Structure 1
Amino acid sequence: MPEARRIDPRDRLIVALDLPTVAEAEAMVRRIGPAAGFYKIGLQLLFAGGIDLVRRLVGEGHQVFIDAKFLDIPETVRKAVESVARLDATFLTLHADPRTCRAAIEGRGDSALKLLFVTVLTSVGNADLQREGFSRGLADLVLDRVDMVLAAGGDGVVASGAEAAAIRARAGAGLTIVTPGIRPAGTDAQDQKRVATPAAAIAAGADYLVVGRPVTTASDPAAAAAAIVEEIRAAITG
């Protein structure tokens, strides 16, 4: 089995701390306890003290995914990634743009930070792309951006479960696929348009699953996280 596929099921679950304050995020981490150990910190929390939270979580032995989705002129991206690399986070997101990718790789240097490039947001559908003037369909656009990431030497992509199988077929085992828009069976898709269950996303080739509200709004977040981990485990072994 390729190294990328030997990840422990618990480590494949990334809980999105999409919460307004650090205090609420820290309380959620305590409620989840050992059921999960990998957390995503996005823009809302980053600008509410989230950088210090990254340091604390890493210091406690957790893995952290910084979901910043950088896109700017190359020199700004390079310097920003240099700063992020000093935080010892596991993942950082950027938009899938060739100059952004090259600048980020340079900024990362020899750190262990893995660079993930967003293909198409899971809240976007084909109709949205058409309104924005894209002539290619969503599936083709995702693969175009995957090809760009492969050519530039990026570590992985962020893509929905609907595209995971095509990406895995295109890229092989060497590209990390992180899939948001995960909804356990029977739960509301909410503002997401391209969703998948944990089992379906893993079966399609995703390495990591990002899950926010199905865990953080559950009456028992630890139990919700544990159930998703078990579904991941069953998808891998079954």
Structure 2
Amino acid sequence: MDNSLIIALDFPSGQDVSNFIKPFAGQKLFVKIGMELFYQEGPSIVYQLKELGHRVFLDLKLHDIPNTVKSAMKGLARLNCDLVNVHAAGGKEMMQAALEGLEAGTAAGSKRPLCIAVTQLTSTSQEQMNKEQLIPVSLNESVLHYASLTKEAGLDGVVCSAWEAGMLRENLGQAFLTVCPGIRMENDNVQDQKRVATPEFARNSGVSSIVVGRSITRSADPLTSYQQWMEAWKGVNK
């Protein structure tokens, strides 16, 4: 999934998704289904998008005791998603249990969904982490620690900001996935994100895949916006 642009379908209903997808007829997208959409529509929205040929990142950020996460992942594996995630803060045992569940729920002869772990949310600042999480180290140290733990647990990569991706590649290898939200064009509103970066910066930092939501989904012309984002992400010269 290297060099993918994942569209965050942060919509309240399946009908909103259908309306958004229509202009992309014939294109195979990589889309993200988060909690807002999944909790309203359930597994049916995953099936609908997979039937249209799109790849799906089911972004539910599981964080619970190992047995609960294992059982949940066993069920999610049956949805035939391409990518799922957990919170690295749940610990190594929980992450290992997540993989066990995915493997148990994946049909024989099929490839299990890739599994990545959230390190620090891109809406989290250094000050918030220090004061609210009581983690006294720098953001970089925290992200590297969580990412290292994720790799030890056998997961495929992490969710992080583009600002940490180069450090993770250097320390954990090129094959370790870095999936980065908080990507904005130079003049975009950063909204509720703190650690934002441009698609060009992400590309030059060796990011595996970027996640883009409102800049495309709330555009007056989503198809054109998507094409512009793809050009910026892939480094296409006009």
Distance in 1 of aligned mates of 2:93 and 2:129: 22
The runs of at least 4 aligned residues of structure 1 exceeding 6 Å deviation read none
Choose which of 63, 67, 75 in structure 2 pairs with 1:71: 63
Give the deviation of 1:100 after TM superposition: 1.7
Summarize the alignment of residues 19-34 of structure 1 with structure 2, pairs less than 5 Å apart. 19-34=11-26
Match of 1:227 in 2: 228
Match of 1:95 in 2: 87
Give the deviation of 1:65 after TM superposition: 0.4
Match of 1:167 in 2: 168
Mean Cα displacement is larger for which, 223-232 or 61-70?
223-232
| Aligned Cα root-mean-square deviation (Å) | 1.6
Q: Which has the higher helix share?
A: 1
Asked if 1:42 corresponds to 2:34, the answer is: yes
Aligned residue for 1:173, secondary structure, equals coil
Match of 2:46 in 1: 54
One-letter amino acid matched to 1:147: S
Match of 2:129 in 1: 129
Quick one: percent identity of the two aligned structures?
A: 35
Give the deviation of 1:32 after TM superposition: 3.8
Aligned 8 A contact 2:28 2:53 in 1: no
Give the deviation of 1:205 after TM superposition: 1.4
Give the deviation of 1:33 after TM superposition: 3.9
Give the deviation of 1:199 after TM superposition: 1.2
Aligned residue for 1:54, secondary structure, equals helix
Give the deviation of 1:59 after TM superposition: 1.4
Distance in 1 of aligned mates of 2:123 and 2:26: 30
Distance in 2 of aligned mates of 1:65 and 1:26: 17
Aligned 8 A contact 2:62 2:69 in 1: yes
Aligned 8 A contact 2:55 2:81 in 1: yes
How many residues are treated as equivalent by the alignment? Answer: 228
Distance in 2 of aligned mates of 1:148 and 1:178: 16
Note the alpha carbon deviations across 1:162-198, whole angstroms, 9 max, x for none. 1111011111112111000010121110110000111
For normalisation by structure 2, the TM-score amounts to 0.92
For normalisation by structure 1, the TM-score amounts to 0.92
- When residues 58 and 35 of structure 1 are mapped into structure 2, their CA distance, relative to the original with a 3 A threshold, is closer
Aligned 8 A contact 1:13 1:36 in 2: no
Aligned 8 A contact 1:149 1:156 in 2: yes
Choose which of 100, 122, 138 in structure 2 pairs with 1:106: 100
Aligned residue for 2:137, secondary structure, equals coil
Give the deviation of 1:77 after TM superposition: 0.4
Aligned 8 A contact 2:28 2:55 in 1: no
Aligned 8 A contact 2:86 2:116 in 1: yes
Give the deviation of 1:58 after TM superposition: 0.8
Give the deviation of 1:52 after TM superposition: 0.5
Aligned 8 A contact 1:35 1:226 in 2: no
Note the alpha carbon deviations across 1:5-37, whole angstroms, 9 max, x for none. xx4x5xx11000001111001211113445660
Aligned residue for 1:157, secondary structure, equals strand
Note the alpha carbon deviations across 1:196-222, whole angstroms, 9 max, x for none. 111111211111110000001111001
Distance in 2 of aligned mates of 1:45 and 1:38: 16
